[in-house]
Amino acid sequence: MATDPSLCFRYFLKAIRWARKYGLRINLDLHAVPGSQNGWNHSGRLGTAGWLHGTMGYANAQRSLDYIRILAQFISQPQYKNVVTMFGIINEPVSSISGADNLRSLYVFFADDTVTDADRVQLR
């Protein structure tokens, strides 16, 4: 059964409203990227991880950057930036699968690219 992205987004907006109402801050943590960053069940695919390698590795990295850019731009808007104060761009990537140098380079690229577009986002 596929999940409707608009339903998920509505709950994300509700969470932002609740956090604002109760004085909480949100750490947005991206748990699943295209291809899976670790092959664990919370990454969208249990088993094979094909995020930065394999036949779709480059395409998966590009799609991930697109999603990260969209989320960073969204949470950097004035009405959200003081509630969503931290953005973990990729949760628990396995460097033994993706390669530590590849991962490091990609984080630097993501940070440079995303902060240029949305300089109010804190990346960890």
pLDDT surpassing 70 at residue 11:
yes
Of the candidates 51, 121, 49, the one whose C-alpha atom is nearest the C-alpha of residue 88 is 121
Reported as a single tens digit per residue, the pLDDT across 60-110 is 888 988 988 899 999 999 999 999 999 988 888 887 777 788 778 877 877
Q: What amino acid occupies position 45?
A: R
For residue 114, what pLDDT is reported? Answer: 62
Global confidence as pTM: 0.78
Q: How far is CA 74 from CA 16, 29, 68, 79, 114, in A?
A: 12, 14, 10, 10, 11
User: In the chain, what are the domain boundaries?
Assistant: 25-117
Of the candidates 86, 37, 84, 87, the one whose C-alpha atom is nearest the C-alpha of residue 64 is 37
For residue 115, what pLDDT is reported? Answer: 60
88 bridge partner residues:
29
